Chain A
Amino acid sequence: MKPNTSALLTLIAASMFGALACNDRAEVFDQEPVASSPVLALKNEIVIVDSSANRGVILAPHAGQDLERISLPIGHGVVGTATAADGKRAFILSAGDVPRTKEKNEKPALTIIENNAARRIEIESPHTGIAIDPLGRYVAVFASGQARAQSTFLENPNEIVLVDLEAPGAPKVTYRTLRSFGGSPARVTFSPVLALPTAPRRLLVVETEQDVTLLDLDHAGDSVQIPEITVRLTSGSSTTPLVPAEVIFDDGDAASTVDARIAVRLKNDSNVVTLTLGPSEAGSPNDFRPTVNLTDVGGVATDIAFVRTDAGLRLAALVPQTKSAVLVEPNAGSTVKVELPAPYAALSSITSAVPSAEGDVVLLYSGSNASVAFWSLGHVVGQPYRSLEVVSLPGSAVSGVLDVPAPHATLKVLQAGSSFFVLDLVARTASPLVAYGVPSIHIAPDGNRLWAFGARTSDLAVVSFDTLAPKSLPLDHAITSVFDLEREGGRSLVALDAEGNYTATVIDANAPDTLLSHTYSSLLLEGLP
């Protein structure tokens, strides 16, 4: 063979091998990361849900501003995410592969990330709503009423998929289709343990557009299903349904098993509905039954809470329409109206921070008012006019109240436009901190500091709750979110830019100094096959 022919053949062969090598590149590289992928914050790490790569990217800070990155597989077709209240687990709901033509195509699933490991629980129905039990035992998957998972042509909106994470052996998945009178679930809430007539129990409360359903959690997975209890909120003589807006719980007197209550605030009516859980009638498959009571509070209530007053348990309802709060005595249904100095629309209990032997203390605020009020319920029945103390915040309407954990639990952070205030619940002082721009606030879980940043800017600052002295820590990239995370030997702040392939800067949270920070770029390009 002539030398020229051999070289040509070699060249052709090399070209062929080169082309083949290019065609073996993983599909993920052809897909752009999903814009604004959910970022789930756990106690000591964050999870970026990279749905285009079907993975969760864990970022875990370590000493020396190191950032460990771990990729874990998650279900295909992410439709919902959530985190556990204790910060130990992340939940990712996926719709699976559509269509399923091969064995390896996935079904809908719930992926749980915990301790840097992922476990996948298959479920039959690709719903989009997910609710996490505050006590960590259950996960409820349901049709959230928002965009339906694109994998489904037809969906049963009244199906609740209940996952018991603490079932013996493996998590137990139970499918329940709730009876419907035309509505479908809009919100799912797990109750605390309630002392019911025959035994303490937890309930799953499902609110639709027109009724409230109570499902006995302790028996939800029984082989012989106990029917749920539906409280219809329409009298049947009106075409206007009463729409539930919120449910709250109270276990009543510790010595009684017949006074546990659920209160339902309505979106479109001036009544508040109280369900008292008492004994059921003979022949009922349930061993408790709600007794329904309506109480008119004079206007549509915007917030409700069970409170302890100097006269006993009351249901407090805020009615900004009448610039008042109404206290409902749950047994007789009698009401006491307390005039408020401003149309407060939200309340936050602060009794745990400022205990009072006489009754609960509640903070009142509203996004349309430049003040907050302390409402001492230990003086409300005899002298309601003396139960309120107003703290003015000139020119700043409070849009949100953030809790501060211990050791500074007697503080609250009030968000008010470009300012925010550190409210001292004991001294009843409000210390303003002014930002140039609208700051986003993140309270450190250890209760020692807060972080403020300008969304989509590189501006970052930290404020110690001991000194209230801000320290500016500008970064060299935009910030979309920050996370104050636990690590061995201390805490770290991870400032994340969620645009593109994600960038993160790690700063020592206890001794913040940008000189010692480390920045990690293109995080989503790492760990790909």
Chain B
Amino acid sequence: MTRMSLGRNALITFFVGMLGAGCGSSDSDFASAPSFNGDNSESPAAPGADTPPGEEQEIESFYEAPVATSRFVWIANPTSGRVAYVDASTLQVKTVDAGNAPTYLAGLPGQTDDAAIVLNVLSEDATLLRIVNGAFTSQTFKTAAKTNSWAISKDGKFAIAWGDARKADSAPKTEGFQDLTILDLVKGTSTSLAVGYRPVAISFSATDAKAYAVTQDGIAVIDLTAAAPKVDKNIAISATPTEDPGTRDVSITPDGTLALVRRDGVATISVVSLDTGTRTEVTLSGAVTDLDLTPLGDRAVAVVRSTSEVAILPVPAIAQDPLTFGKVTITGETIGSVSLSSDGSSGLLYTNASAVERLTLLSLSSPGTFRTVRVYAPVLSVHTTPDGAHATVLHATSESESAFSLLPLAAALPARIVATTAPPYAVALANDRVVVAERSDSKKIYGVDIAKLPELTSTHYDLASPPLSAGIVPSVRRAYVAQRHPEGRITFVHLDTGVASTLTGFELGARVVDGSKP
């Protein structure tokens, strides 16, 4: 279940390219994690040990960079109106026409073939791109204006195009970004409708019967089973109309019955029934600094930094009994954030609001069991492999001193710190590999490190251009790093042989004629 955040002004966002399994592959080596926004070329300064802790920094994902499906990597070229797709096994490039200014791409999960969808910003439509038995097909859908983001259902049947105001530079207050378009990719229909002011996230229920748009006016519940999708109701998540929505952080259970709301500086978590609108308040020992929901939605983990306490809330029981939940105090440690493993069995507790070089692994199946690990640089973010056996820790460092760490979770082994030539910029994970792209625009240093798990060894590759995103195509055992280049540039590294190949000039590469077609 993707976590949704309301209006948080993150200083840094981290981007991780979609791995193949989540975008069409059946491979289980899949992890999706947030992305590093390319506008921030400077690494955040490490919080000083003596300065009061700032806010914990959230991570979000953006659908702007290339996406990978089972076998292909798709790259949109807004200038030419074409989308290039690169066969990750042969590195052959082809381009296809999309609409006017194709910009925002998303891969479709749950497909037997490779499929992606792109938002064409200037023509205000979307193009569905599909490769079936080697043959390319496309279909165009009309979308609402000013959409710049995608939410895709797990089975790839629905795609929702919506507008994220945070991506729009200097959007006036009167621009509500309230129009979104629901594409039924099976029926081939598109339906535009309005939700509350400035949505921040869209998600789907486990059965894809409903979609939820978290807005500043509450949560819009959209019925996808109707003949035409419609907004069933809007659930207010606050009793105070003047509450600053920017301080809210909302998680919705996979079955779509409950929403859990955390607010900055507030010691309570609101549990809201999306069926009845009933709100239940759960009071913790102090201001809740982070809240995460397990993928199954059976537990919510809340962190109270002031008391170093972790609360484990049983879901949905907490809505009925707000006083009964597990608590663990991590004595002696400063924790403010949690990153849950993909199977929900454990959580990594850390803080990035102050310069702390430790994190704690807490077992959720055996509450009270935890282990603190030292990493030799302040923690900025933590990313777990799909199997939960390892984690990658990005460190908050400076331009001259940057690193990431590889941390075994399944075994009580020390972390391995890997110094980088530039601050980490993007991460992609598989069970046996970690890909970390580095970038320093001021020093013009660009590279990618590929680490092996469980060996914890790492190999560095220089890049010629600023990386934009990183990803892995597991089916062909290749990592890729998309880079900024006027003609388009992407570097592939074979995960087993280590051979790196760079493609530059997608438009030219697609115009090689070998006589295979008339």
Contacts and interface: CB of A to CB of B under 8 A. Distances in A.
B9 interface: no
A316 to B, nearest CB: 16
Listed from nearest, the 3 A-B pairs whose CB atoms lie closest are A227-B515, A334-B464, A294-B505
A31 interface: no
Given A333-B489, A334-B463, A236 B511 contact: yes
26 contacts: A227-B514, A227-B515, A228-B515, A229-B513, A231-B512, A232-B511, A232-B513, A235-B487, A235-B505, A235-B511, A273-B505, A276-B501, A280-B514, A281-B90, A281-B516, A284-B516, A285-B515, A289-B512, A291-B503, A291-B509, A293-B502, A294-B504, A295-B464, A329-B464, A332-B462, A333-B465
A11 interface: no
Contacts of A281: 87, 90, 92, 516
B512 A233 contact: no
B500 to A, nearest CB: 5
A268 B187 CA distance: 50
B346 interface: no
Nearest to B487: A294
B508 interface: yes
Contact of B502 (A226, A271, A332): A332
A136 interface: no
Most buried by B among A230, A232, A334, A335: A334
A281 B72 CA distance: 14
B80 interface: yes
Contacts, number: 108
B453 interface: no
Contacts of A234: 511
Interface string A258-285: 0000000000000101001011110111
B171 to A, nearest CB: 31
Nearest to A232: B511
A193 interface: no
B461 interface: yes
Interface residues of A, number: 37
Nearest to B514: A229
A286 interface: yes
A290 interface: yes
A352 interface: no
B91 interface: yes
B507 A229 contact: no
A195 to B, nearest CB: 16
A284 B512 CA distance: 12
Interface in B6-43: none
Interface in A284-337: 284-286, 289-295, 329, 331-335
A334 B491 CA distance: 11
Interface string B191-220: 000000000000000000000000000000
Interface in B440-488: 461-465, 487
A386 interface: no
A333 B502 contact: yes
A237 interface: yes
A235 B508 contact: yes
Contact of B512 (A179, A283, A290, A335): A290
A291 B502 CA distance: 9
Contacts of B91: 278, 291
B513 A333 contact: no
Contacts of B93: 291-292
Interface in B317-363: none
B179 to A, nearest CB: 32
A228 B487 CA distance: 25
Contact of A333 (B90, B464, B515, B516): B464
Nearest to A274: B504
